[in-house]
Structure 1
Amino acid sequence: MARRCELTGKAVLVGNNVSHANNKTKRRFLPNLCAVTLISDTLGQSVRLRISANALRSVEHRGGLDAFLAKSSEDELSPRARLLKKQIAKKAAEAAVAA
């Protein structure tokens, strides 16, 4: 499983540990990934995603998973999140036509 946030696309970064003597050794900066279950109001079901803590804050700030996916661009989402975005958009369009 890749160490990549499914919603924001945050991934592993590479850098150096720098000692007091200015010796440099390679290191990795890992994203703070959390396995969370988010609820989609439109679909009426819960979705398990592996997202960063920063993405979780963004989801809460934007008003839930549906609102976050509606505002996010396709290229930074994982394939699972893209599919979820399409399902939510389709269900919302059906609800708008029915109303």
Structure 2
Amino acid sequence: MSRRCELSGVGPMVGHNVSHSNVKTKRRFLPALAPVTLQSDALGQTFKLRITNAVLRTLDFKGGLDAYLVKARDEDLSPRALKIKRQVKAKLAEQAA
């Protein structure tokens, strides 16, 4: 299972552990992923996604999963999230027409 956020695309970063004597050794900074069940208002469905805690706060700020996905870049989204985004856009276009 990859350690990558399904909505923002955030993955592990690389840095250094720095000791008291200033010796630097490589280390990985892993994202704080949380398995979350999110509700889509347009589709009337729930989806289980692994997202970072920062994106969870952003979802609350933006007004939910649908609003976040419509404005998100396709390059950042996982294949599952892209599929949900296409479904949401189609449903919103259908409701507008």
Query: Normalising by the residue count of structure 2, what TM-score does the alignment of the two structures yield?
Result: 0.97
CA RMSD of aligned residues (A): 0.6
Aligned to 2:21: 21
Name the % identity. 56
Aligned to 2:53: 53
Identify, as 1 or 2, the structure richer in helix.
Answer: 1
1:50-89 deviation line (CA, Å, top 9, x unaligned): 0000000011100000000011111111111011000000
Please identify runs of 4+ aligned residues in structure 1 that moved more than 6 A.
Answer: none
Aligned to 1:11: 11
Aligned to 1:75: 75
Structure 1 stretches lacking a partner, 5+ long: none
One-letter code aligned to 1:96: A
Aligned length in residues: 97
Once the two structures are TM-superposed, the CA of residue 45 in structure 1 deviates from its matched residue by 0.5
Structure 2 stretches lacking a partner, 5+ long: none
Query: Normalising by the residue count of structure 1, what TM-score does the alignment of the two structures yield?
Result: 0.95
Once the two structures are TM-superposed, the CA of residue 7 in structure 1 deviates from its matched residue by 0.5
